[in-house]
Amino acid sequence: MSRLRIGLLGAARITQKAIIDPVQVMPSIKLSGIAARDQARAETHAKTWGVRTVHASYQDLIEADDVDLIYNPLPINLHAEWTIKALQAGKHVLCEKPFAMNADEAKAMLAAAEASGKRLIEAFHYRYHPAFETCLDWIKAGRIGEVQSIEAAFDAPIAYDPNEIRHRIETGGGAMMDLGCYPLSWALMVMDAAPEIVEASAVISKGGVDEAMSASLRFPGGARANISTSMAIDTSFQAPLIIQGSTGRIEFQNPLAPQGGARLTLETDAGREIAAISPISTYTYQLAAISAALASGDPLPMEGEIILRQQAALDAIYQAAGLRDLRWR
């Protein structure tokens, strides 16, 4: 593959950050096509973003000969359908988080990837930033001893709007699905193990989704993780990650998007160490890593078993909070 050719499903807001901006500094990547429910919107975005072809339908896009990778940022309830169709059409897929409505859908998507021989990647962009790599390296090197506890949160104000997909049950809305999936993923990356969900509780919005959620997780060996999320706050965005070990502590303010302002510190008996933070975006690192992996065949950290582990944990959190029916209707 000499040049990675990307097809865009829909014209979601996140596409600008996730794909369009990174492509501007990556001449080895080409925006080959776009398709959206609203043809006029697709044509407008194609002109703005420099996409070569506007397709009449999602199906036409995924069948296009000049597309190698499909980017799927559609509403969550459409992730499984169009990811599976794209894989069956012989395309690699970068699917936005959260991956699916539930673990059953995730299993079907992963099975389709295995059957097609194509790559299926969940778009947890934070994982590719050097700052998160540094955090993991400190832990792997034993700098804080054995991990004992994790405290993680992601809060951001998302005002109630009946037309907002994050406030609608049928589109997979909810704070834990849209925001809380990040602190859950951070904990899974740190522990590299499947958790047991001890307990969870939620505050339900007038639209019927969780506008706030908290959960307690227990990992093999006894480490605990407390994660929380809210889209009903009046304050601004906050995303802390605190990892307490037997001999030290890591504090990471904004592991979500370090390029926007972050602080990563390691505290041990030997003193405090502050990591350098790259100003390059997580999305740029993500797309560069995907492009390189598709060319080399090397594995990526956000594909395969970790996808199902994440989705199963999300399901278990909703189950523990008494909200299982939110995503099985």
One digit per residue, the tens of pLDDT, for the chain of length 329 reads: 578 999 999 999 999 999 999 999 999 999 999 999 989 899 999 999 999 999 999 999 999 999 999 999 999 999 999 999 999 999 999 999 999 999 999 999 999 999 999 999 999 999 999 999 999 999 999 999 999 999 999 999 999 998 899 999 999 999 999 999 999 999 999 999 999 999 999 999 998 999 999 999 999 999 999 999 999 988 789 999 999 999 999 999 999 999 999 999 999 999 999 999 999 999 999 999 999 999 999 999 999 999 999 999 999 999 999 997 755 54
Residue written as token pair 């970068």: 94
Domain boundaries, the chain: 4-123, 126-285+308-327
| End-to-end Cα separation, the chain, in angstroms | 41
Residue type, 259: Q
As assigned by CATH, the class of the 126-285+308-327 domain is alpha beta
Asked if domains 4-123 and 126-285+308-327 share a fold, the reply is: no
Structure token pair of residue 165: 């997909």
Query: How many degrees, rounded to 5, is the angle at CA 57 between CA 54 and CA 60?
Result: 80
Pairing relationship of beta strands 29-35 and 4-9 according to DSSP bridges: parallel
Question: What letter does residue 99 receive in the DSSP assignment?
Answer: -
Q: Are 8 and 51 in contact (CB under 8 A)?
A: yes
Supply the CATH classification number for the domain 4-123.
Answer: 3.40.50.720
- Kindly report the backbone phi and psi dihedral angles of residue 162, in degrees, each rounded to the nearest multiple of 5, phi listed first: -60, -15
Dihedral angle sign, alpha carbons of residues 249, 196, 126, 301: positive
Does residue 98 have a cis bond before it (omega within 30 degrees)?
yes
Confidence (pTM): 0.96
